[in-house]
């Protein structure tokens, strides 16, 4: 009778080991998707159990965007949420006496870890998208500034040229030419229609 109990314990441990390896495989597959940049670095650290490194990378990414003052306030809540998710994944993966729990309970914990992992991935996507949007807005505002400066300089040059022409007397002859041309055009139109 005690041999049967030992067999059940061995089977339970084997099943637990299989479940653990299946979990690691599923988590690794989620990492092998087409990821780049911030997501790849942080999710890879989480998969390999370097939770402090993941938090550190997230913080250094945020600090690297100091040139964009509107970036940090827009993503503070996402960063806090990501750090909470990383901590939740860490606590569930390092749950004390995980192997002593029933297989269904272990599976439930592993499923929660995967849910947290997917949620972390989505939060990182939002952070990256916000960074991209902030950079685009910066480029747009720089472009608008350059165009405005170019038009202003062009207008100043044109006005200076116009003022110089008016001083030289060319403008009076230009006005006479414009007046003669317009009267010629008007009289031609009247003659054409017989008015």
pTM, whole model, 2 decimals?
Answer: 0.67
Helix (H, G, I), strand (E, B), or coil: what is residue 25? helix
Distance separating alpha carbons of residues 54 and 89, to the nearest angstrom: 12
pLDDT in 10s for each residue of the chain, 195 residues: 445 445 555 545 555 556 667 667 776 766 666 667 888 889 889 888 889 999 999 999 999 888 888 899 999 999 999 999 999 999 888 877 766 777 778 788 888 988 999 899 999 999 999 999 999 999 999 999 999 989 988 888 887 777 666 666 655 666 676 777 788 888 888 887 776
Report the C-alpha dihedral over residues 86, 90, 91, 96, rounded to 10 degrees. 180
Q: Are 64 and 38 in contact (CB under 8 A)?
A: no
């Amino acid at each position: 009778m005690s041999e049967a109990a030992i067999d059940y314990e061995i089977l339970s441990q084997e099943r637990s080991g299989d479940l653990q390896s299946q979990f690691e495989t599923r988590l690794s597959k989620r990492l092998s998707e087409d990821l780049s940049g911030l997501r790849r670095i942080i999710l890879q650290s989480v998969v390999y159990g370097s939770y402090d490194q993941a938090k550190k990378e997230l913080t250094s990414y945020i600090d690297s965007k100091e040139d964009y003052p509107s970036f940090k306030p827009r993503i503070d809540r996402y960063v806090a949420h990501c750090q909470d998710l990383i901590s939740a994944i860490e606590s569930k993966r390092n749950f004390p006496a995980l192997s002593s729990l029933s297989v269904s309970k272990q599976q439930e914990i592993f499923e929660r870890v995967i849910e947290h992992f997917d949620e972390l991935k989505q939060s990182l996507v939002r952070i990256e998208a916000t960074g991209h949007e902030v950079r685009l807005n910066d480029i747009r505002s720089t472009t608008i500034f350059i165009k405005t400066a170019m038009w202003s300089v062009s207008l100043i040059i044109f006005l200076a040229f116009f003022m110089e022409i008016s001083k030289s007397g060319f403008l009076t002859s230009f006005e006479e030419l414009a007046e003669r041309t317009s009267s010629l055009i008007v009289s031609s139109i009247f003659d054409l229609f017989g008015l």
